Structure 1
């Protein structure tokens, strides 16, 4: 597919005034539907700020951000929340699962703000668990799972709404190397099935295993392994 699901044009983000902190400095790139992209850089490079901008959790100070075709600057907070619920799935390093709910319920909660009926939420949650290979753990609680299984639940929850974009923030950061490698393999498999995934990481070796890498330094994109000219798009 050639449809762009993310478009950033000269995006800036500045915090404070005495003196101002320039977290992002003229960031521009696009991501096509179906890409698997690593956003890599050291701590303090601007990755977290970029994640918040991409996830519409924060608004830029300048420039243009389009997510799934929508210019976020034109949206009210309510419409922005609706866009986030419909088009973006999040996977975090800390999993953020409810310990008192079953695996199926945790995944189904990813549809709470999408207007789906309870029966549909459960059905789609079961389908998402099949995609991550945890259909036999649907009735378990997070405390009964390994770290890798918990991250798979978090990935299923991100996918259950069939978002245009999945943002994964250091998804292997709390896992041992073998389990982390299995999670990366899962992300590759999901991408091969059509999911658009951006993974934030400080691990250059991990990023090297992904088809495209954006390197962030001092709030700027300093390298793009798949840089394209306008004629290529």
Structure 2
């Protein structure tokens, strides 16, 4: 794959070993895949399949027990904590299900704070925050505080904060999980628009129906990649209407 922005090779993550019985739990087992620039990918699996651990490892929030994680061509294992923080600030944007907005700050300030660890000066942070808010259709709410926003607007702010650093990849963790179906659909439409404009997006979800409408789907089960498919699945065929007098079994 050309222009790879994220690559995992034989990644494992093992927890435990320090308990009295010495038991360990392998949450990720030999995970390998690559994501190219401009892709829109759903990582889908049931609760307990290893999706959250995979998100943390892809986002360099946790180090793998073994294997290789490359972000923007850089092997994260070779970096110390400070270098890893810089890589994360420069190359990765996060969108979490819980929004994690600072309630005391304005919308613009919340988005601009996404650049704090990138070392950008205050004027640049504010200017780039305004651009990101325009991307998600919230320029008119820049001076509002999160408490005055709807759930969908809060998620848009979180997406703008993830985009403001112009990262190589955006990791979205269940971005519609706390939203009603209509608002969730609008957030998915926004993610598609941003992807069409060039953003590389990986979305973590347990919703197989939602994942089925994505251009690429990576299925995870018991810490392993069990499928990797491209092309949106067709919508289920609606039931055929019964004609008058037709018998049912």
Query: Which residue number in structure 1 is paired with residue 207 of structure 2?
Result: 203
Query: Which residue number in structure 2 is paired with residue 223 of structure 1?
Result: 227
Query: Which residue number in structure 2 is paired with residue 31 of structure 1?
Result: 35
The answer on 1:64 being equivalent to 2:55 is no
* Cα distance in structure 2, aligned partners of 1:73 and 1:145: 40
Q: 1:192 offset after TM fit, Å?
A: 0.3
* Cα distance in structure 2, aligned partners of 1:54 and 1:209: 23
Q: 1:226 offset after TM fit, Å?
A: 3.4
Matches within 5 A, 1:116-135: 116-135=120-139
Query: Which residue number in structure 1 is paired with residue 50 of structure 2?
Result: 46
* Structure with greater Cα Rg: 2
Among 16, 24, 27, the residue aligned to 1:20: 24
Instruction: Name the TM-score, length of structure 1 as normaliser.
Output: 0.96
Secondary structure of the structure 2 residue equivalent to 1:225: strand
**1:66-90 CA distance string (max 9 Å, x none):** 0111001111111000000000000
Query: Which residue number in structure 1 is paired with residue 237 of structure 2?
Result: none
Q: 1:20 offset after TM fit, Å?
A: 1.0
**1:188-213 CA distance string (max 9 Å, x none):** 00000000000000001111111100
Give unpaired runs (5+ residues) of structure 1. Answer: 228-233
Structure 1 residue ranges (4+ consecutive) displaced by more than 3 angstroms after TM superposition: none
Q: 1:216 offset after TM fit, Å?
A: 0.2
**1:128-157 CA distance string (max 9 Å, x none):** 000000001001111111000000000000
Among 135, 157, 164, the residue aligned to 2:168: 164
* Cα distance in structure 1, aligned partners of 2:174 and 2:223: 18
* Cα distance in structure 2, aligned partners of 1:225 and 1:92: 25
* Cα distance in structure 2, aligned partners of 1:81 and 1:101: 23
* Cα distance in structure 1, aligned partners of 2:116 and 2:85: 13
* Cα distance in structure 2, aligned partners of 1:170 and 1:138: 25
Query: Which residue number in structure 2 is paired with residue 91 of structure 1?
Result: 95
Q: CA RMSD in A?
A: 1.1
**1:168-201 CA distance string (max 9 Å, x none):** 0011010000000000000000000000000000
Query: Which residue number in structure 2 is paired with residue 10 of structure 1?
Result: 10
Q: 1:2 offset after TM fit, Å?
A: 2.8
Query: Which residue number in structure 2 is paired with residue 101 of structure 1?
Result: 105
